[in-house]
Structure formats: structure tokens, C-alpha cells
Amino acid sequence: MGTKAFRWQKTDGGPADSVEAAKNASSTEKLTDQVMQNPQVLAALQERLDNVSHTPSSYIETRPLGLPKAVKRRINALKQLQVRCAHIEAKFYEEVHDLERKYAALYQPLFDKRREFITGDVEPTDAESAWHSENEEDDKLAGDMKNKVVIAEKEAATMEELNPKGIPEFWFTIFRNVDMLSELVQEYDEPILKHLQDIKVKFSDPGQPMFHFEPNDYFTNPVLTKTYKMKSEPDKADPFSFEGPEIVDCDGCTIDWKKGKNVTVKTIKKKQKHKGRGTVRTITKQVPNESFFNFFSPLKASGDGESLDEDSEFTLASDFEIGHFFRERIVPRAVLYFTGEAIEDDDNFEEGEEGEEEELEGDEEGEDEDDADVNPKKEPIQPAECKQQ
């Protein structure tokens, strides 16, 4: 086939030139075959073809005369239906919000009792503190250790340091256990967080996480709040982008720091030289400092139509994610994050996803081309409104 292709090649030289051209063509053909046998090259070419074949306008571009007018009208009608679907979906989320608020009233008495147990204001009864393990070995061990525990409790009752009030450092331990939160906490934040007594998420419009602190040496606020503003209706300019409620902005609160206790700023010394006299003076100034408590002084989403830079968008998205995590995970399941059980569940879930993905990839190797494009749909987690009390 290669010889036939070059048979029609026009040359100005004699037989020697024809022979040389044929040799060059043969070498080129061999090199091409070698390149095309490279899996990485084939994968790159396939990706290029996939991108071309799946561009939004490829269906139209393949038609020189464009779409018939009647087809365009029908597509526009479908878009009208899609917009109506988006508004119905928004109404669905409004009713979900009302249902959440209804059940929040049922949760709150339990959360209030949780706080009383944590702070030690109330001691649980024997019935409230009874917990039967489903693990037989744990039950057996509990039976074997029963007498020792009774003796230990009697000894602890006579020693105040071994019989603390409530559950010390409950919320601070959660901060240390959860990677997303521990990354925000600096060493100088830790003594402050040990005074944290409760975290509530107030169901309102907008939603408001509330951090309750006992009296401490750092600030006078009994409660620090963070307000998240939600959007739960389609954008008029881009209704097809609607995927449910989303956090669009947030506000913090002013922390009334006691003198010299503000961990969100640090004091630095800087030398200045007078241009005329040449004398040098040392000045002190305060600059921002990394701290978890910057969480209460969030970056504002741009409301003047100007877009944020990439770093600011990332910071804002991270802030929204943390607020959503408090609302969806930390507050409802606090004790399990304290013990670490919820973290194990999260890790097992992630491992299960990866295992499933590997298994699916293995199955795809033997599938037909039509089946190879089928991927399981993974629904993204949408930030729900922080509004629980």
C-alpha cells in the first residue's frame, strides 16, 4: 500500500531520485508505525478525538447549513422546559428547608442535653449512660474488668484530678481529630479552644454556626458567630447552572480580644532610616497572623460585579466547605468525631469508593467499545444551608 501511494508521486529527477525517495518513504512509514504503536501516543490521540467529538457544538458544526429552523424552535422549547424544571427544583429545596427546620426543633433538646453532659452541669443517669456493645469480646472484657472498674471509680471519686467535671476538651479533641479543622489550628489557638463548650448551627435565613465559650482570659464574647448566606433559586442569567442551594457569601463577628491576647495579629519590629539625617529608628507594627479565629473574619464575596482572583476564590470556597462540614457532620455527630468512629467511617467510605473504581476499571478492559463509555454517576455534595438549632 505504501509503494502504491508513492507511485503517483511527481519527481523531477531520474531513476536515482526515485529510488532515494522510495527509501525515505519506507523509513518514514516504519517510523510512523512505531509511533502509532506507542500506547501513550494512541491515548493522546484518542483524547483529542473525544474532545472534538463531544464539543457542545459538534452536532451543529457537522451540518454545513446549520440546523433546520423547525429543529431550532423545538430545541428552544426544550430549554424553556428545562428552566421550568429548575424552578420546580428550587421549590423542592425550599420545602426541604422547611422540613429541616421542623426536625431541628426535635434535635435541639438532645443537643442541649449533650452540652450539659459535656460541661458537667448535669450528670447522666445510669439508664442514660448504659451502652451495650454488639461485640461479644468487648462484652466479655467488660465483665472481666467490672470489679476493677468499680474499684477504680471509688478511688477516682476521692481524687479531684481523676474525676473531672463533664468531658474535658471535648470540642478541642474534635478539632484535633478532624484534618480539615486541625490544619487551621495553630499552637497558640489551642489554649483558647479548650474553653469551647458547645457548637450550635442555628436554622435561620441565613444560617449561623454559633461557638459557645466559657469565660476565659482571651476575649469577652460568650458566643462567636459566623453567618452563611444561601442562594436557592436559579440564576436569571444562567438558569441551567442551578444544582441546588449553595453558599454565596458569609459574615463573621467582631471578637472582643483582651489586651495583648489577640492571636490573629502579631507585632513585629522594623527599622527605618531617615533619608536626610541618616538616623535609624525602630518602630513596631501589627500584621495579620495565621489563626483558626480568622474564621470569624472571612473574605467577602465580590458583590460589585468584579471577579475574585484565583487565591481568593480558593479561600472563599474552603471557608464555605468548612461551614458546610460543621453543619452536616460535626454538630450532628459530635461524639463520634470525638471518639474517632466517624473518622473511621469516612475513611472506610473513601476506600470503598476507590476499590469500586478500580474494580470498574478492571471490568472495562474486556467490554465492548459501546460499554466502555458508561461511567457510574457520582452526585456532588451540595453545600446545604447552615441553619440548625
What is the signed CA dihedral for 378, 381, 382, 388, rounded to 10 degrees?
Answer: 150
In a domain, 6, yes or no: no
What three-state secondary structure class fits 224? Answer: strand
Range from 79-83, 212-216, 375-379 carrying the lowest mean pLDDT? 375-379
Backbone angles phi and psi of 291, in degrees to 5: -165, 150
**H/E run at residue 231:** strand 227-231
In a domain, 48, yes or no: yes
| Structural domain boundaries, residue 220 | 169-355
First to last CA, the chain: 77
- DSSP, res 97: H
Which is more confidently placed, 39 or 252?
Answer: 252
306 residue type, one letter:
E
For residue 205, the domain's CATH number is 3.30.1120.90
The pLDDT tens digits for 134-191 are 654 555 554 555 555 555 555 545 555 567 889 999 999 999 999 999 999 999 999 9
How many domains in the chain?
A: 2
Same domain, 184 and 319: yes
The pLDDT tens digits for 296-354 are 998 877 555 566 778 888 888 888 889 889 988 999 999 999 999 988 766 654 554 44
In a domain, 146, yes or no: no
Distances (CA, A) of 182 to 193, 227, 238: 11, 21, 37
In a domain, 371, yes or no: no
Grid cell at residue 358 = 478500580
Q: Identify the residue whose cell numbers are 436569571.
A: 236
Residue 124 β-bridge partners? none
Same domain, 45 and 185: no
Same domain, 342 and 203: yes
389/385 Cα distance (integer angstroms): 12
Grid cell at residue 135 = 461485640
175/138 Cα distance (integer angstroms): 28
DSSP-derived secondary structure for 108-133: HHHHHHHHHHHHTSSPPPHHHH----
Same domain, 190 and 307: yes
In a domain, 195, yes or no: yes
State the pTM of this model: 0.63
In a domain, 115, yes or no: no
